[in-house]
Structure 1
């Protein structure tokens, strides 16, 4: 076991426990690693990803057909529609669960029996890179570990955190407008257990070394079953300390570094992705001080800023923010997304959008059938998430399918052009909209963007070229095919935010070695001029590698039609 692992264990648990914890950890790691087979294609360098990599984000039971397991339906959809388009699939928690659409896991080692088994999950992994969730902050109150805790089993007595309800917990950062402590009757009496997200999601106590060892074993078991990208869910809240906000704790960062060190020593083809829905500066801290934490971090500011650009038809805030992004390199990159199974986070836009602009964004979402979720802070309740299907958030009215598709694809082009790896939510890829009926059924705002679909109906819609869904799917997949063929879009490829005005957003991707592509998009319903930025170093005749048109920069400017997307490269 490397010296870096030992040092991290010593920092987390103190020098007096370092040797014992390292010994137990090493024993578990070696046993698990002995069962792991490296994939045939491992990638190169410290970041085994390239320009062909992009991921569809989906639930394991997203597609259904009578008499067919949902995971088999998912495999059929991916192989029929996504081969040669996307490289990976992020299957949201596919384990047995009790609430929160999968994020209250009752068993980390099994697949939800109604959806299929590891055979089906691993089968998808034979054709696509698999991403899965390691929900390590908490587990279901029905998990055997918590049942042992309730029985006062000494093996699990320290797996969870109980706190005197009279304790001052006012400094703890809360992501939800729910009680932090939940009372449970145990064999040792009533205990008030730390529950950050809900009463059914009991927080694990990582101050207990056995918890960390168990979760590292779970992590490696998922790798054993073919997972290549591990998403560390809600990682920011991992380490609890009364008197500390218990978000972004130094020992939380140390745990992420420990996972990274184990990956690099034993399974170097695996990617660690941290999920931290927080302001931008806090988010990028999960790269670490020397690129020693996550391989990838979510770009949580991208969804609200892109939505703002299309709402106000002004990309100024998006340009200014993108220009502040640290450069990517061969060890880290960004995981870019616009839509997800959750909603559009408001918090990551604080300090970038004004209060008035945030209020305008909220009003726009509500006018288009969306909802707003709130969290508790000292001042009361504040909005933290906009719950709406991203197509409806961006384009609104669907009476003109051609215009709606163009407007939505224009927004999605920003996601694909940004430095990093795209993560595309299934409902964006297939062009579906709000599911308000689902919210009424479940009482959960997030259900609006979590509708499960009949596979044959989806395939029929995508085969009708006149349908809105087919227009969006065709436009999206066309851009993805173009992207994967150009090294300029490599996750470690340089980028430059180009000077532009008003609704135009422009990026230069690549360099002389990888080739260069200028990515332009008009976020407005009116034509817009882009005055050529000398930094783009454009010369002669250019071709649009999406639609094939040609352009000359001799006039010093390029006109973009409403919601037009141009990816320009020098003709050879």
Structure 2
């Protein structure tokens, strides 16, 4: 994976076009910004019950976006990451429709997970309450198959997303076929979506168990054999994230988004500095993704709250959520928790720019912190354009996360690229991609608790030092950048006041 900033985007929501048009955008106004692109699900169809995360056919590109040739062409320009939706597939998939019609006689009878496959002797109340849930309710849906049989199918997320038995030969064959299809198209990075829930076991919490780690190990080994790196997507207690990072190629730094907000809201870098000292460096740093802003990632362990505290105290975590609601003018409250369907209990739905009250200086300081931490930065498409909450889309869909999934027209992109905050962010991205200091060593410089001073330093073959230094005052919500410039003595200071800059 290149040590350059990556873009995370839906193909059809950034310019409303297809893969070829996205490629033209990356070659045009976004040229030089991104070393890689994470294409959010582009499979058939992109407009199911969960914005593409419930594929009918995971090996078919939605025809409205292009085909595998379009994907392969894009990989010639940038590294491309794709999702492998490990845990489930659509109830409209050919496999499920055949199973529904034929039941136990279907060739796919073992592909879909039923309650009795995990609890052959039945489940007690204690068994069901032990299952870790990202959403309210039990993880089952009563389904009457087309052949008249009634089944309790395992549905971790929505009734339309039927969980796969990834340990069954049919499940393993299904996932292996997806990997081969992606490899043939030139994709060299995959994100394992919802993999933490993939293994189910009676009497256990069914989330990130030893058996889950074993499954990830085997899947990653298979991917590696095809030349594919694996990113594991897990929202969980921060120490568990550290453990996961020791076993895989890449993890997300999901603790970073709420910790940066906490620092800017409370005027302290103390929790952030603690996290920087212990966080895994094989991480993709993010402030925003297609999901909400996670709070579980810095909170106490839900399974052991008394003995496993979070990175911030519970009362500050609660206050952080309320401050996001306040900064967004109450909009995030309308999209979060029980206020909207398809809810996740551990996320606040809001664009990152609106979570900071549309404060340009604070937003750029947050992005600078993201870019300065070890790892590979990813920028979500609405974040690239300092996007506002889409309340109209939320009202139409009723899906909380749609507040941060705006459909940008080409005219909107052109207009937003002229905004000073966006131009400054693009300058910051180019600096992160090109300055040689970021290929060297990282350190946190001594500073008071309200200050965060980060530095990268690299020596070249001629004995010259390349330096990139970031100083953030969390209490003032402002940042300064000092960088070395070839052929110029000392460091040049760059403004992060919302104006573009170059070196």
The interval holding the TM-score normalised by the smaller chain is 0.7 to 0.9
- Match of 2:204, SS? coil
Contact 1:273 1:296 in 2 (8 A): yes
Greater alpha carbon shift after TM alignment, 518-527 vs 181-190: 518-527
In structure 2, do the counterparts of structure 1 residues 219 and 311 end up closer, same or farther at CA, with 3 Å as the change threshold? same
Corresponding residue for 1:508? 455
- Match of 2:230, SS? strand
- TM-fit CA distance, 1:220: 2.0
- Match of 1:206, SS? coil
Query: Which runs of no fewer than 5 residues in structure 1 stay unpaired?
Result: 1-48, 376-380, 399-403, 465-469, 531-541, 553-557
Of 409, 426, 435, the match for 1:486: 435
In structure 2, do the counterparts of structure 1 residues 324 and 132 end up closer, same or farther at CA, with 3 Å as the change threshold? same
Contact 2:293 2:348 in 1 (8 A): yes
Task: Say whether residues 1:134 and 2:84 are aligned partners.
Answer: yes
Corresponding residue for 1:90? 38
Task: Say whether residues 1:433 and 2:382 are aligned partners.
Answer: no
- Measure the CA separation in 1 of the matches of 2:472 and 2:94: 51
- Measure the CA separation in 2 of the matches of 1:54 and 1:226: 20
In structure 2, do the counterparts of structure 1 residues 155 and 136 end up closer, same or farther at CA, with 3 Å as the change threshold? same
- TM-fit CA distance, 1:458: 1.4
- TM-fit CA distance, 1:474: 1.6
Query: Which runs of no fewer than 5 residues in structure 2 stay unpaired?
Result: 300-309
- Measure the CA separation in 2 of the matches of 1:420 and 1:543: 19
Of 73, 76, 79, the match for 2:27: 79
- Measure the CA separation in 2 of the matches of 1:461 and 1:201: 36
* Alpha-carbon displacement from aligned partner over 1:197-234 (angstroms, at most 9, x marks no partner): 11011110012022112202211211211212100001
Of 309, 312, 324, the match for 1:365: 324
Contact 2:468 2:484 in 1 (8 A): no
Contact 1:419 1:494 in 2 (8 A): no
Map 1:14-413 to 2 at 5 A. 49-51=1-3, 53-64=4-15, 69-97=17-45, 98-151=48-101, 152=103, 153-164=105-116, 167-168=123-124, 169-186=128-145, 187=147, 189-264=149-224, 266-268=225-227, 270-288=228-246, 293-326=247-280, 328=281, 333-350=282-299, 351-367=310-326, 368=328, 369-371=331-333, 373-374=336-337, 383-394=345-356, 396=357, 398=358, 404-413=359-368
In structure 2, do the counterparts of structure 1 residues 228 and 440 end up closer, same or farther at CA, with 3 Å as the change threshold? same
| TM-score of the pair, normalised by structure 1 | 0.75
Residue correspondences, number: 466
In structure 2, do the counterparts of structure 1 residues 246 and 212 end up closer, same or farther at CA, with 3 Å as the change threshold? same
- TM-fit CA distance, 1:549: 11
| TM-score of the pair, normalised by structure 2 | 0.85
- Measure the CA separation in 1 of the matches of 2:400 and 2:7: 22
- Measure the CA separation in 1 of the matches of 2:203 and 2:27: 51
- Measure the CA separation in 2 of the matches of 1:479 and 1:515: 17
Map 1:441-452 to 2 at 5 A. 441-452=396-407
Corresponding residue for 2:445? 498
- Match of 1:410, SS? helix
- Measure the CA separation in 1 of the matches of 2:153 and 2:209: 20
